[in-house]
Amino acid sequence: MEEIKKKQAVDIFVIWNRIWKKKKLFFIVGVVSFFLACLWNLPTPRYYNCQVVLAPENTAGNGSVMGNMAAMMGIDLNGNTTGDAIVPELYPKVLQSNDFVGKLIDIRVKSQDGEIDTTYYAYKQKFQKGNPVIKAVIKVPKAIIGLFKKKEEKGKGSSKGVDLFNMTKEQSDVFDAIMNTVGCSVEMKTGLITISVTEQDPLICATIADSVRAKLQDFITEYRTNKARNDVEYYKKLTAEAKREYEKARQGYGSYADQNTDVVMQSFRLKENDLENDMQLKFNTYSAMRNQLQLAEAKLQERTPAFTVIQRATVPQTPAGPKRMLNILIFMIFTAVITGLYVCRDLIANELRSE
């Protein structure tokens, strides 16, 4: 045991002695790595993050003890009782769909300094800042690759004319950029929906976060009330038709009764009774349709979910990143470790061979 400890102490001393002899190399590598890290990280534009937290109404309403215990373990016993095909766990997928992003591209956004006032599509296409160093590095390969590609028709910087079924390369890139900007997560235990938006301007960040919240609420409401709304429209149509038929029958009965007030012939009285019975039948149909319409409207109100905004969208005051100094420190530590392995490569190789 003492020999092993002595050997380890000797090895550490040898490694430290080797590193100390190469301290000039470490100094040069440290200066170069610090310069490269600063060149790579400092020009990176800052970005801001805004989060919105929603608590949707639980329409299933299972308040049993077993349901509560299952929710604590992350199991939703009500997942299949509502009959919904789009469960809350799929909301992040909804936000990453072209149809949902297509609802965001026409939103008007304005930067905090007032220099930018345009649509969200144009902002993502024209006003995104980037690291000039990275742009310069990738500009040459892109130019070389572009020589072997066919030139594509560029967009006009407008969201008008975007065909979600057949988008151009430029439009697809803008949609991908928006999808990378907008995020959503659902907590299984509580059902809380957290919407996160990351943008380079704080005001635009908060604006898009609030817009995504409103669009998602509209999507959920429209989906859950789709059948109920169709029923309301259907019964509205039937009620209007029944009312027209009843009005027509009432006017016919009234006109016939007025014209034959003094007539005592039985045939006229029988026809008057038939018209009165037909009017009563039309009224009963109209009354039944009106009751069905009221029930459908009540069902629509019942199916409409209520949302509680736990955390509203606010303009962030401090940037969320990038962590420039931390990135520089990590890069310098990484280069120091690589340099140490390079300096002691023969010692490491001998140690591995001896083992």
Judged by DSSP in three states, 77 sits in coil
Q: Give the pLDDT score at 107.
A: 95
Q: What is the mean pLDDT of residues 4-9?
A: 50
In sequence order, the β-bridge partners of residue 78 are: none
Residue 72 has pLDDT above 50, yes or no: no
User: How sure is the predictor about 143, in pLDDT bands with cuts at 50, 70 and 90?
Assistant: low
Type of residue at 79: G
Please count the other Cβ atoms lying within 10 Å of the Cβ belonging to residue 266: 8
User: 316 and 206 in contact (C-beta within 8 Å)?
Assistant: yes
Residue with tokens 């950029």: 177
Higher pLDDT, 257 or 120: 120
Residue 91 has pLDDT above 50, yes or no: yes
In sequence order, the 6+-apart residues with CB closer than 8 A to the CB of 143 are none
Q: What is the mean pLDDT of residues 10-30?
A: 81
User: pLDDT tens across 186-240, in order?
Assistant: 998 888 999 999 999 999 999 999 999 999 999 999 988 999 999 999 999 999 9
Burial class (CB in 10 A: 0-12, 13-18, 19+), 109: buried
CA distances (Å), origin 174, targets 107, 131, 332: 14, 18, 35
User: How sure is the predictor about 84, in pLDDT bands with cuts at 50, 70 and 90?
Assistant: low
Higher pLDDT, 155 or 230: 230
User: 282 and 241 in contact (C-beta within 8 Å)?
Assistant: no
User: pLDDT tens across 34-65, in order?
Assistant: 888 888 888 888 999 999 999 987 554 444 44
d(CA 339, CA 355): 24
User: 56 and 82 in contact (C-beta within 8 Å)?
Assistant: no
Q: Give the pLDDT score at 61.
A: 44
Q: What is the mean pLDDT of residues 118-125?
A: 95
